[in-house]
Amino acid sequence: MLRSVRSRIALCGVTTAVLVGLTTSGATPPASATPLADAENLFRPQLVTVDTPTRADKALLQTLGLDLTEHAGHDYVEVVLHTLADVTTLTGAGLDFDVRIPDLLAREAENNQANAAYAAATATSPLPSGRDAYRTLEDYNADMAALADQHPDLVERFALPHPSLDGKQIYGVEIGKDVTGPDRGLPTFLMLGVHHAREWPSGEHAMEFAVDLVRNYGTDARITDLVDRSRVVVVPVVNVDGFAKSRTDGGLIDLREADRGGTATILGTPGSAYMRKNCRLVDGQDTPDGSCALAATSNGGYGAGVDLNRNYGGYWGGPGASDLFADPTYRGASAFSEPETQNIRELVSGRHVTTLITNHTFSNLVLRPNGAAPDLVPSSEGVPLGDPYDEAALKALGDAMAAQNGYTSQHAWELYDTTGSTEDWSYNATGGFGYTFEIGAHEFHPPFLEVVDEYLGAGEYAGKGNREAYLLALENAVDPTTHSVLTGKAPAGATLRLQKNFATPTWDGVIEDTLNTTMTVGPDGRYTWHVNPSTRPVVMDRQVETVSGEPVAQESWTGTTLPLQSTDHEFTVGQDADLFEVVLDWPTPDDMDLEVYRKGADGSLTQVGSSGNFVGEKERVLLQAPEQGTYVLRAINFASVTPTWTLTASLFDAETSTVPGLVENWTLTCERDGRVVERVPVVIDRGQQLRVHLNACGRR
């Protein structure tokens, strides 16, 4: 594979277009300027599709410090290139790419024009709120306040405990019957939006779901029943600083000039419309309020900021999260170093969040834990991650939700490896199910009409969409078979507390975590408390697949191939096997590549794997559960002056082993007048109901 041919062509096209723009505009560069400097200054951000046919390619891409989107498949990842230096980095790594959107700023202008046209033509949209345009941060805060003011017994607006780095208050709403009354032990469904600043639809869908529940409560039997049996908490904008900057810049400057009855529109250039991270300027130091708004532009989150969805504690500091401050996926100085993630940590730790959805854009995906591949080994644990303990149930709900919106349901690691993400921490620390929704097919914040269609469903998914998927998630949250239930007797008005202190594994160490939740016993002296299981998934038994020592079938070839030429060999998979491994080796530190194809009955070839590592790194393709048939193995001399090689194809059976787990308990206490009267250890599994009478708490 000639890995850099297409990318070199793309780079030449970009440079040529920029220089032509200088010529046709009549601009005269200053004497000290160079064509390269002018090209750099006029380069517009691009969205490109990078070929990543192997996990090694994806791993390489994650080391380049580029702005990776959430849109990816088994053989590609989409990336935002903000500067010519980004283009040079990508081409220098030898990764192919195609330019999908050549000018994101021009696309932003087009979207704003489409949004203006839609708003002008729409009195009320089909959304629950009737909105016809993206909200600003002020709009979100006003809408949450209005819901609480208009429905005081159903909605409570609350401020999260930690203001943003720029001094902004972060708000959420809680929805439930008698919402301001004592906690009755109901399960919590948590909906989050806008961890990444530029992902505006993620906040819109979170907010619309809140409005939907409130507007239909009392008239829609399904929604009324679900709200009565739960507490729904919605935080539509987690990253308030970044969103405010992205939304302000993304609105563009629209200067209009009358010309004999016509209108000429000049659209300004947004500086932070595609900002990703928060407004962290210096690790470990707060800055004066307002510093973020005054800071330089932050295209894609370069330079300043922490990627909040790499800052959570679960396996923090591992693959898919950068330790370089300037990188878009910078994980922060430590787990939970940012006020925004501290807010969500405390919110989850203080409630029994039985189901969580965190919304992002884009890719049309429903992602479930884990974020890192099951064969990776955190040094903090020394054993492979394996699949989540609740994999079957997590997959079943993910598939059911994806059937409503047309998205693809998959493990998060199948997009690419990530660590420190929201649901990886929340699921592994609490046992509550967690998912990421990647909303939309093509853009971070597309024309607003697409937000409407994604929420309500369009085409074959009309009347379903994310609205129906969210309702399925809420049904899962209230279903007692998906969590645990404590019942019993205790003194009326007593405070019951469930608490657990434990060590959460990061990639290289641990952090201390605490879950501390309370409820109030009702006037009849009986309680029912919907809780998460006492044993965390991260310490439960895990199934690990390991390759058997000897291959069940193997064939090797040796040969030579001239530079820029290739040599093919065929291998037949004639039996069922768990793994098909192809290794290309050579005796010198030169560069060769490997491609593997499935041969059709008509002789056609379909590529099923490839490997194109850096100089000196040998090539390997691994296929899981390969179909029986004929495969073509292609050794390519990319840049080897001594092109002698060995090619080995092997079939393996995999052995499944169990890493023993632990059993943990909650500590249940009964408190009266602020004093602990009774303390009981409680072990309870998912789907289990356990009766615990706190008789001693009633004695004086």
Report CA-CA distances (Å) from 162 to 68, 165, 339, 421: 29, 9, 6, 19
Report CA-CA distances (Å) from 462 to 387, 456, 465, 678: 34, 6, 7, 54
Helix ranges (DSSP H) in 175-318? 200-216, 221-228, 240-250, 291-294
Note the Cα 196 to chain centre separation in Å: 9
Give which of 344, 356, 346 is closest to 532, Cα–Cα. Answer: 356
Phi, psi angle pair for 384, to nearest 5°:
-60, 150
What gap in Å lies between CA 479 and CA 476, rounded to an integer? Answer: 5
567 with 595: CB under 8 angstroms? no
Does the bond joining 370 to the residue before it have cis omega, within 30 degrees of 0? yes
250 with 445: CB under 8 angstroms? yes
Report CA-CA distances (Å) from 661 to 90, 540, 689: 43, 4, 22
Tell me the Cα Rg of the chain.
Answer: 27
HSE value, Cβ hemisphere, 13 Å, CA-based, for 564? 3
Report CA-CA distances (Å) from 355 to 18, 193, 515, 548: 49, 15, 16, 38
Residue carrying the six token digits 């008239």: 219
What gap in Å lies between CA 654 and CA 386, rounded to an integer? Answer: 13
Phi, psi angle pair for 305, to nearest 5°:
110, 160
Q: Concatenated DSSP letters for 324-375? A: -TTSTTB--SSTT-SHHHHHHHHHHHTS-EEEEEEEE-SSSEEEES-SS-TT
Joined together, the tokens standing for residue 151 give 């429905």
Strand order in the sheet with 579-585: 553-560, 644-652, 579-585, 619-624
Considering 391, 423, 438, 450, which one is annotated as catalytic? 438
CA dihedral (277, 281, 285, 286) positive or negative: negative
* Burial category of 227 from C-beta neighbours within 10 Å (exposed 0-12, middle 13-18, buried 19 and up): buried
The helix/strand/coil state of 412 is: helix
What gap in Å lies between CA 108 and CA 120, rounded to an integer? Answer: 18
657 with 619: CB under 8 angstroms? no
Query: Residue 696 has what DSSP assignment?
Result: G
The helix/strand/coil state of 612 is: coil
CA dihedral (355, 361, 365, 368) positive or negative: negative
The reply to whether 199 belongs to the active site is no
414 with 74: CB under 8 angstroms? yes
181-183-187-193 Cα dihedral, nearest 10 degrees: 70
- Active-site positions read 438
